[in-house]
Every structure is written in C-alpha cells, then in structure tokens.
C-alpha cells in the first residue's frame, strides 16, 4: 500500500510527504522551500487580490496551489496512485483567522478550497477513476460555538458507506 501526506505535518509512515521534502531540504519553518511556492497573484483560485495583504492568507494560497499540483502529480497514473492520501488545505484557516467567521475573506478561502477540490475531482474523472475513489472531507476547527442541541452519531452515515471503520469517540474515526 502506498500512502501520501500533502501539506499535513502529521506524516509519519507516509511514502510521500510534503513535510519530508521540507525536512530533506535542511530548512525549517513556514518559509522552508519558499522559492518553490507559486506566485499567489497568478492563482486561478484567488477571488480578491486585496486579501493577499494578509501574510498568512497569501502563504495559504501559495501552499494550496502547490498542494493541488502535488495531488495531480500523485494521481498522474492511477496504477501508481496512493491507496490513502491525506491532503490538507491551508488558506481556509488563513481566511477565517484573517477575516473572522462569515467574513468575505473567509468565504473567499472556502470558495478557493472548493474550486481546488473540484479541479482534483475533474482530474480523477478524466482518468476514469472517480467512482473508485473515496473522499472524506473534514475541518480542523471553527470559530463559533457548537450547537448543544446537535447530538447524535456518525454511525448511520458511516454504516451507509459500507466501509469498515472504528469509531473511537468524538472526532476520531478510523477507516479500516
């Protein structure tokens, strides 16, 4: 089984990893491999160029554009594609921190993430493997308190997928 971790710091055991590339460069920190990142002003996903004044948002656009390219490269040949891939997006965090919840900047960052995912899904469809790939979309945090009236379980939705899993508690679901 081949695995990949794109733009995620938790990469232990991954056969391919963005963080491994950074470690191999001998550099460290958010500016590692800065020269390899694309120009955010040319991003086809950027809505409002004024948001690039925010350093974290600007960096997130660059990282996510390169992350999409890494995903397309990993999936250039379905026969050699990873069995499991973790692909993290950064700009959504930058947009929510920079503008706050429900801000125009936050909405722009979400549209960017959606558009990049759409490009990747179109890529998979072009390869003829879209129906053979499972996508699990998660978020790491939000800016608003949770609704205490929302209770329940992921169990019905997970059972409906027909995939083996282990639910270890709030937020810890392992696909087997």
Mean pLDDT by 10 residues, the chain (176 residues): 87 90 79 86 97 95 96 95 92 91 91 96 97 80 62 79 77 72
pTM surpassing 0.75? Answer: yes
Which residue, chain included where needed, has tokens 């900047």? 105
* Residue 25 in domain: yes
Q: How much is the pLDDT for 168?
A: 67
Which residue, chain included where needed, has tokens 């019905």? 156
* Residue 71 in domain: yes
* Residue 72 in domain: yes
Number of domain units in the chain: 1
Alpha-carbon span 10 to 120, nearest angstrom: 22
Q: How much is the pLDDT for 154?
A: 74
Closest to 68 measured CA to CA, from 35, 52, 90, 51: 90
Q: How much is the pLDDT for 43?
A: 98
6: three-class secondary structure by DSSP: strand
* Residue 170 in domain: no
* Residue 159 in domain: no
Which residue range forms the structural domain that includes residue 54?
3-145
Beta bridge pairs of residue 3: 84
* Residue 13 in domain: yes
* Residue 112 in domain: yes
CB distance 60 to 94 below 8 Å: yes
Alpha-carbon span 60 to 85, nearest angstrom: 20
* Residue 162 in domain: no
Q: How much is the pLDDT for 49?
A: 97
């Amino acid at each position: 089984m081949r695995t990949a971790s794109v733009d995620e710091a938790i990469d232990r055991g991954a056969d391919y990893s963005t963080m491994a590339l950074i470690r191999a460069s001998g550099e460290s920190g958010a500016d590692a491999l800065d020269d390899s990142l694309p120009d955010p002003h040319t991003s086809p996903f950027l809505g409002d160029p004024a948001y690039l004044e925010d350093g974290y948002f600007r960096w997130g656009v660059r990282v996510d554009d390169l992350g999409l390219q890494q995903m397309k490269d990993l999936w250039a040949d379905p026969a050699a594609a990873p069995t499991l891939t973790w692909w993290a997006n950064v700009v959504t965090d930058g947009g929510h921190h920079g503008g706050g919840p429900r801000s125009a900047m936050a909405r722009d960052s979400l549209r960017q993430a959606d558009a990049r995912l759409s490009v990747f899904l179109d890529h998979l469809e072009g390869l003829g493997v879209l129906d053979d790939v499972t996508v699990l979309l998660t978020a790491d945090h939000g800016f608003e308190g949770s609704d205490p009236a929302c209770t329940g379980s992921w169990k019905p939705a997970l059972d409906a997928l027909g995939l083996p899993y282990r639910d270890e508690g709030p937020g810890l679901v392992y696909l087997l």
